[in-house]
Amino acid sequence: MQVFLQTLVGGLSLGAIYALVAMGFSLVYRTMGLVNFAHADVLMIGAFAASTFYVSTKLPFALAMALAIAVTGMIGLFIERVLRPLENKDFTLMLIGTIGFGMVLQAVAVLIWGATGRAVASPVKAAPLALWGLRIRTYDLIVLAITAAAVVLLAGFLQRTKRGAAMQAVAMDHEAATAVGIHVGRSNAIAFAIGAGLAALAGGLVGPLLYVNPTMGGPIGIKGFAAAMMGGCGNIPGAIVGGLAIGVLDSFAAGHFQGYSELVVFLVFTVIIMIRPLGLFGEMTVSRA
Amino acid sequence: MNALLRRRSTPRLGGLAALIAVVWILPYQLGGYAIHVVDIALIFALLAIGMGLAMGIAGQINLAQVAFFGVSAYATAILTTHNGFGFWPAAALAMVAAALVGILVGIPALRMQSHYLGIVTLGLALGFINWTTNASVAGGAEGISAIPVPPLFGIDLSSEYLYYYLEAAVFAAALAFGLFVVRTGLGRRLMAMRDDPLSAGAVGAEIPLLRMTAFVLSSVYGGVAGVLYVGLIRFIAPETFNITNMFLLLAMVVIGGRQSLVGCVIGAIGLTLIREQLVDYPSYTQLGFGVVVVLMVVFAPTGLAGIPARVRAVVDRRRGRAADRAALRPFQPYEPAARPDPEADPVPPTLDVRQVSKHFRGLTALEKVSLTVERGEIRGIVGPNGSGKTTLFNVISGFYKASAGHVRLDGRVISGVRPYRLSMLGVARTFQNLRLFGELTVKDNLLVALDRTRTYAIWRYVLWPAGIWRHERRLNQQADDLLARFGLTEFAKAPPGSLPYGIQRRIEIARAMAGAPRLVLLDEPAAGLNGEEVRQLAGIVRSIRDSGATVVLIEHNMGLVMSLCERVTVLAGGAVIAEGTPAEVVGDPGVIEAYLGDSAMADMPLPTPSEARP
């Protein structure tokens, strides 16, 4: 039981990171139907940027994070602008285009920061908490708290602001949204920038947990995608549940299968998604012939 | 005729001979390292063909191609070094392993498409990489070395020059087979599935089997590449099969042109050579490839292979398009078939819909709909928008499963049967909003529907290609006849999307007739047609009926319904509210009410104030 709970708790902080990745991914997916394969590499750039501002420039962690989010937000705006001609037209091409951007971002990261990568010291020095015999790292709690705050802010933005409402309208029907005077391109750009910002947040937070290097995006990104799909692509609450689920699954797989954990995670994910292709919360839509 | 054919193929044969000569002489011009690079380029080209077949031809996003490549490479390496197999037996087993993994990776494609499939295949590829780096049998991060040189009749294949000839021969055979597939029935069906899986199913393409076929083809090409790679390098390690190389492969296919196998080959060879030139600057190379992929996707989505066609299209537009000058010829009626005498020879009705209901969660689209259409009848189905007409067609043609009730075709229960089976049984349909295969020519659109072979007959591609070839010639003749009958001969080579709406409607009817159906379902065939075209349509529908088929059409154009249909069924709110001859139906108060609201109200005298107050 003790081991079970410890594994569960251990999975939650990475799960929160996956949830952030999945949220950014879902936000972009539901507004423009685009699967952003560059998302993982945006995360990696965010992780590098945050660690550079924090470690090299010696800025406070929160400020370093804010700067990293701003930088990746700009990258998001740029990617959206370049691919805008394809929006709502050919999703396969957009998908390949974002893979192209991913290649570019990885190459840029190697050119700026080198291929080897770096370790980032945890910003909190406090000793782990002991709670009912479980050891909980304080940094894990911070990750969970920041993720929760991000969820609340995003939900508030989407539901309480005019821009957020416009974004929801574009997600439902981009043509009708144009007809009522919403600038679809701009709305998509903002969605993309927020998605990139969420990726940077995830990247900045994951820095002290893992090793920051140019290819780190791959596994985290794909697990983030998997989380989004498990929750039902485009479904924000689903993304959070999916993220935590993948994190916990990851943690248990690492405990039981050691080196093979990744293989096990993807096999389990494939089976789940085969059984429920639209995710745990996805709605079946009927295509009209 | 024969002489003409020979003359036309002479330049092609000449080109082929020149190409063979170049391939033959090439090694004599190259140094030791250069030939190594060429050997690698050919392996990437094989991988790219497999990827092109899955992604470009069949439209199945496959990001597991490096895993197929890796499975066969690792299987060969393990079987030769651990289990003491000879190289070629190991290679044969490795191919089987790659094909099995192809089936495994393809299974998710039965349930999901596009980006979902991309993520699942990429995840499975990551899982494979994870296995190679951990399994002790795979040598972990160090990989496997000391793989034996493949023996071949005493030829020393440790020489990269001699290995080049082996690769060139295998590659030529693989490319020829790929092109054979793409240009014959299987390729057309795969492309039809890519363009529109729904209507491909409706013309008899077995979608699940075709998706698996695409993945198996892809994995077999990956498998061949893996075996050749192991024989060439004789050492393998996990980093050869990583995600970076997967995306490099994707870049090759996209830049070369994913819908053209030759384009994929050009992309693969070109990018491999460029990468070798810039081997000291790998990051800049990756940066460059990434930028080119983005630019290609935005400005030249068909890749390098698509550029000639784009240039031609621009030139044609400047000069005035050929398709604009081409004219739609009149329809040539079918030979009337002898109409059966129902008195002497009682037959079950062609279409018998009994108490069919269809619910979408809470919404009731059809409620206990019954109708019977006799053989040789033209039946009209009318009703306000949202009354369930198209849903009824979708149930009859197998797209939807009825929630209750059943459908019979010539007395045989067909509810729950898949669309491709129904197509084989003689049910054909058109679609309200045109579902032609956009990237295929008009003739290929018809050829897809003319091909009545079951999809499992593709075994002949491996065992009896001559049979395929003969079948192809017969189909071509039939397609020419069908084009001529529908007056479409001059549009044979045009992509349907470039043609006027009325012509596209006619192509769709021709495609429905290609399978010589017993029952033809036409969903709003007159929508968007002008008066003259509607008149021609009436003639076509009558001729289709005279040829022995039964026609059911949904139509809002009441003039057409009145003149064409013997009986009309009226649907409203998912239920049949009237049935009879056109004249009976238009006078029916229930029908008037459904169309105009409660018209009886309008006829009632307005109540006077005195009457209103008792």
- Comparing B397 with B4, the larger pLDDT belongs to B397
Instruction: Looking at the complex, report in whole angstroms how far the Cα of residue A161 sits from the nearest Cα belonging to chain B.
Output: 30
**Dihedral over alpha carbons B242, A229, B189, A92 (to 10 degrees):** -70
The confidence score (pLDDT) of residue B299 equals 86
Structure tokens at B148: 């034996």
Selected for mutation to probe chain B from A95, A263, A265 (highest B CB count within 10 Å) is: A263
The confidence score (pLDDT) of residue A284 equals 46
Cα separation, B91 vs B229, in Å, equals 11
Q: pLDDT band at residue B342, thresholds of 50, 70 and 90?
A: low
Q: Does A283 have pLDDT greater than 60?
A: no
Per the prediction, chain B carries an average pLDDT of: 86
Tens-place pLDDT, residues B472-486:
999 999 999 999 999
- Please give the full DSSP string across B255-319, using - where no structure is assigned: HH-TT-HHHHHHHHHHHHHHHHHTTT-HHHHHHHHHHHHHHHHHH-TTHHHHHHHHHHHHHHHHH
Residue A122: Cβ within 10 Å count:
14
Q: pLDDT band at residue B95, thresholds of 50, 70 and 90?
A: very high
Mean predicted confidence (pLDDT) in A50-56: 83
Nearest CA in chain B to A38: B290
Q: Does B15 have pLDDT greater than 90?
A: no
Give which of A177, A209, A198 is closest to A240, Cα–Cα.
Answer: A198
Nearest CA in chain A to B284: A107
Please, where in chain B does CATH 3.40.50.300 lie? 351-599
**Dihedral over alpha carbons B213, B214, B215, B216 (to 10 degrees):** 40
- Looking at mean pLDDT, say which of A33-42, A258-267, B507-516 comes out highest: B507-516
Q: pLDDT band at residue B606, thresholds of 50, 70 and 90?
A: very low
Q: Does B426 have pLDDT greater than 80?
A: yes
Cα separation, B380 vs B398, in Å, equals 20
Chain B residues with CB under 8 Å of A35 CB are 115, 118-119
- Looking at mean pLDDT, say which of B30-39, B73-82, B456-465 comes out highest: B73-82
Cα separation, A213 vs A119, in Å, equals 9
The confidence score (pLDDT) of residue A289 equals 42
- Comparing B176 with A182, the larger pLDDT belongs to B176
Helices A91-113 and B243-256 cross at an angle (nearest 10°) of 130
Instruction: Looking at the complex, report in whole angstroms how far the Cα of residue B603 sits from the nearest Cα belonging to chain A.
Output: 39
Chain B residues with CB under 8 Å of A95 CB are 61, 114-115, 118
Chain B residues with CB under 8 Å of A259 CB are 130, 133-134
Mean predicted confidence (pLDDT) in B405-414: 88
Strand partners, B364: B359
The confidence score (pLDDT) of residue A65 equals 86
Per the prediction, chain A carries an average pLDDT of: 82
Q: Does B2 have pLDDT greater than 60?
A: no
Structure tokens at A77: 């705006």
Q: pLDDT band at residue B344, thresholds of 50, 70 and 90?
A: low
The confidence score (pLDDT) of residue A95 equals 83
Mean predicted confidence (pLDDT) in B295-314: 84
Q: Does the distance separating the beta carbons of B287 and A96 come in below 8 Å?
A: no
Nearest CA in chain B to A272: B108
Q: pLDDT band at residue B320, thresholds of 50, 70 and 90?
A: low
Cα separation, A198 vs A189, in Å, equals 14
- As a three-state string, the secondary structure of B202-267 is HCCCCHHHHHHHHHHHHHHHHHHHHHHHHHHHCCECHHHHCHHHHHHHHHHHHHHCCCCHHHHHHH
Chain A residues with CB under 8 Å of B296 CB are 100
Element (H, E) at B34: helix B32-51
The confidence score (pLDDT) of residue B598 equals 53
Q: pLDDT band at residue B48, thresholds of 50, 70 and 90?
A: very high
Q: pLDDT band at residue B72, thresholds of 50, 70 and 90?
A: very high
Nearest CA in chain B to A98: B294
Cα separation, B515 vs B203, in Å, equals 8
- Phi then psi for residue B59, to 5 deg, are 70, 20
Chain B residues with CB under 8 Å of A110 CB are 283, 286
- Comparing B550 with A235, the larger pLDDT belongs to B550
Distance (Å) of CA A208 to CA A21, A123, A125, A203, A261? 17, 8, 12, 10, 21
The confidence score (pLDDT) of residue A218 equals 79
b/e for B298-313, b at 16 or more Cβ within 10 A? bebbbbbbbeeeeeee
The confidence score (pLDDT) of residue B448 equals 92
- Phi then psi for residue A123, to 5 deg, are -75, -15
Instruction: Looking at the complex, report in whole angstroms how far the Cα of residue B399 sits from the nearest Cα belonging to chain A.
Output: 8
Cα separation, B429 vs B425, in Å, equals 13
B351-599 has which fold? Rossmann fold (3.40.50)
Tens-place pLDDT, residues B199-213:
998 898 898 999 999
- Measured at the CA of A127, the angle between CA A121 and CA A129, to 5 degrees, comes to 125
The confidence score (pLDDT) of residue A288 equals 41
Chain A residues with CB under 8 Å of B431 CB are 289
Selected for mutation to probe chain A from B63, B294, B366 (highest A CB count within 10 Å) is: B294
Tens-place pLDDT, residues A152-164:
888 888 888 888 8
Q: Is B516 helix (H, G, I), strand (E, B) or coil?
A: coil
Strand partners, B372: B352
Nearest CA in chain B to A216: B243
Of A133-137, B174-178, B240-244, the range with the lowest mean pLDDT is: A133-137
Q: What percent of chain B has pLDDT over 70?
A: 93
Nearest CA in chain B to A84: B298
CB B217 within 8 A of CB B54: yes
Q: Which of A94, A100, A277 sits opposite B112 (nearest CB)?
A: A277
Q: Which of A101, A102, A270 sits opposite B108 (nearest CB)?
A: A270
The confidence score (pLDDT) of residue B10 equals 64
Chain A residues with CB under 8 Å of B434 CB are none
User: What radius of gyration do chain A's Cα atoms show?
Assistant: 19
CB B310 within 8 A of CB B300: yes
CA B154 to chain CA mean position, Å = 45
Tens-place pLDDT, residues A146-199:
888 988 888 888 888 888 888 878 877 778 888 888 888 888 888 888 999 999
- Please give the full DSSP string across A154-189, using - where no structure is assigned: HHHHHHHSHHHHHHHHHHH-HHHHHHTT--HHHHHH
Q: Which of B123, B298, B360 sits opposite A97 (nearest CB)?
A: B298
Mean predicted confidence (pLDDT) in B359-384: 88
Q: Does the distance separating the beta carbons of A107 and B286 come in below 8 Å?
A: yes
Nearest CA in chain A to B202: A289
Q: Which of A106, A288, A289 sits opposite B286 (nearest CB)?
A: A106
The confidence score (pLDDT) of residue B324 equals 60
Q: Where are the domains of chain A?
A: 13-118+133-216
Mean predicted confidence (pLDDT) in A128-152: 81
Q: Does the distance separating the beta carbons of B198 and A95 come in below 8 Å?
A: no
Mean predicted confidence (pLDDT) in A236-242: 85
- Phi then psi for residue B64, to 5 deg, are -115, 15
The confidence score (pLDDT) of residue B323 equals 52
Mean predicted confidence (pLDDT) in A24-38: 82
Burial environment of residue B372 by CB neighbours within 10 A (0 to 12, 13 to 18, 19 or more): middle
Q: Does B274 have pLDDT greater than 50?
A: yes
The confidence score (pLDDT) of residue B216 equals 94
Q: Does B599 have pLDDT greater than 60?
A: no
- Comparing B320 with A91, the larger pLDDT belongs to A91
Q: Does the distance separating the beta carbons of A93 and B301 come in below 8 Å?
A: yes
Q: pLDDT band at residue B77, thresholds of 50, 70 and 90?
A: very high
b/e for B105-129, b at 16 or more Cβ within 10 A? bbebbebbbebbbbbbbbbbbbbbb
Tens-place pLDDT, residues B130-157:
888 888 888 878 888 888 888 888 777 7
pTM of the predicted structure, to 2 decimals: 0.87
Q: What's the full length of chain B, in residues?
A: 614
Q: Which of A99, A222, A260 sits opposite B126 (nearest CB)?
A: A222
Cα separation, B90 vs B147, in Å, equals 11
Q: Does the distance separating the beta carbons of B289 and A103 come in below 8 Å?
A: yes
Cα separation, A207 vs A122, in Å, equals 8
Q: pLDDT band at residue B504, thresholds of 50, 70 and 90?
A: very high
Q: Does A216 have pLDDT greater than 60?
A: yes
- Please give the full DSSP string across chain A, using - where no structure is assigned: -HHHHHHHHHHHHHHHHHHHHHHHHHHHHHHH----TTHHHHHHHHHHHHHIIIIIS---HHHHHHHHHHHHHHHHHHHHHHHGGGTTT-HHHHHHHHHHHHHHHHHHHHHHH-SS-EE---S--PPPEEETTEEE-HHHHHHHHHHHHHHHHHHHHHHHSHHHHHHHHHHH-HHHHHHTT--HHHHHHHHHHHHHHHHHHHHHHHTTTSEE-TTTHHHHHHHHHHHHHHT-TT-HHHHHHHHHHHHHHHHHHHHHHGGGHHHHHHHHHHHHHHHSTT-SSPPP-PPP-
Mean predicted confidence (pLDDT) in B11-23: 84
Selected for mutation to probe chain A from B120, B136, B521 (highest A CB count within 10 Å) is: B120
The confidence score (pLDDT) of residue B321 equals 59
Q: pLDDT band at residue B509, thresholds of 50, 70 and 90?
A: very high
Mean predicted confidence (pLDDT) in A215-220: 82
CA A253 to chain CA mean position, Å = 21
Tens-place pLDDT, residues B373-384:
988 899 999 888
The confidence score (pLDDT) of residue B82 equals 86
User: What radius of gyration do chain B's Cα atoms show?
Assistant: 30
